[in-house]
Amino acid sequence: MIMDIDWFKLINDSMGHVSGDELLVALAERLKQFTSRRDILSRFAGDEFVFLFASKGHDLKNKLPEIIERLDRVFHDPFSLGKRKIRISASKGIAMYPKDGETFLDLLKNADAAMYHAKHQKPGSYAFYTQTLQYSLIEEMETEQNLIDALTQKEFELYYQPSIHLPSGRAIGVEALIRWRRPHYGLIAPNKFIHIAERTGLIEPIGNWVLKQACKDFLRWPNDGILLDYISSNVSSVQLQNPNFVQTVKQTLEITGMEPHHLELEITETAFIEDFQGSLDKLKEIRELGVRVAVDDFGTGYASLKYLKELPADSIKIDRLFVKDLPDNQNDVAIVSSLVTLTNNLKLGLIAEGIETEAQRLYLLNAGIKMAQGFLMSRPLPETELLTYLAENHISNEVQQISGLQTKA
């Protein structure tokens, strides 16, 4: 079993490496009390520990859930670091001899693969190595290799999802969403490759391409009679942590000729929490340029309200998790109502994501939410289809507004 501490980099960055070392020592002391005389425990590298569990003729796999439950109790009580107490978790990967490998190195490699799978699924959980996992890892490796060439081969495309002003039904902005038209595979959604791009560092050139291309497209649309308030582009945590991030945005504005107030950057909570103060400083500089900032997937990250009061943002986007069961789920009704009050008091914009039914749209409109995205209004569209949609949307709503005035008259 390989065990890796979750968010250990955040502890090192925020509290210092000395505190990180103290935590490793304290954890090792607890783990020593956990292991039996037949087991071997080693700090392998960094924040990783390796266990070798021995079995005398018993079915070790059936005993492992009990072992893991006892191991998780090691993390139940907080750790004392100076005057501070912190709680941690660890992701675990398991490989069994001889099924998953007949040598130590094979078992280690496969347990490591299972651990990263567990961490990706849910930090603090565990996963067994399987052949299916191996196939998945091979596919990821092939995807990584092909990603390297995808930019130079111009295989990426942008799709756009309109942001709708609910009271009028007008589209006033769009969100740029990347797609990969991979040869022999067809169109690939970002959830299949973005995490690989982030892990390998390829997300920076890819993200920079998205930002530049979105600006170029936006500036071209007025020639087709399409006038929008803004275009938004997603920013990954890797991009945000780059010391040159603000300069990259500034250069993109200068190269494309994009007016800053027409650009919005969407940043998830988890993107800025890894280095909150550093991210705070960068986002302040971004807003000083005149660029908008939106907090995406609001409510699904960590300590949302604590960070929101300090974060330099223009708007927040309610995650679809809180929209999908409206208007029947009273907990979601209470959350949305509270967010409307909160954002009004903080003078922030509020956008609801994932609108799929007319009942959801009507509830959100009556609740005071003015902006929304969702399949009910429009799915993400390639540029040509977007321009058709925007043209029809613009004309349709002008007719509705004129008709409404005539009726009132």
Enter the pTM of the model: 0.73
Phi, psi of 58, rounded to the nearest 5 degrees: -95, 160
Phi, psi of 202, rounded to the nearest 5 degrees: -70, -15
For 184-195, the pLDDT digits (tens) are 889 999 988 998
For 289-320, the pLDDT digits (tens) are 999 999 887 766 554 566 677 788 999 999 88
Give residue limits of the domains in the chain. Answer: 2-129, 147-313+379-404
Which fold would CATH assign to domain 2-129? Alpha-Beta Plaits (3.30.70)
For 53-77, the pLDDT digits (tens) are 877 655 677 778 888 888 888 888 8
Lowest mean pLDDT among 37-41, 178-182, 394-398: 394-398
| Confidence class for position 144, pLDDT limits 50, 70, 90 | confident
Lowest mean pLDDT among 188-197, 266-275, 346-355, 384-393: 266-275
pLDDT score for 306: 67
Coil/strand/helix, residue 52: strand
Q: What is the 3-state secondary structure (H, E, C) of 216-277?
A: HHHHHHHHHCCCCCEEEEEECHHHHHCCCHHHHHHHHHHHHCCCHHHEEEEEEHHHHHCCHH
Which fold would CATH assign to domain 147-313+379-404? TIM Barrel (3.20.20)
Average pLDDT, the chain: 87
Q: Is the pLDDT of residue 50 over 60?
A: yes
Q: What gap in Å lies between CA 228 and CA 226, rounded to an integer?
A: 7
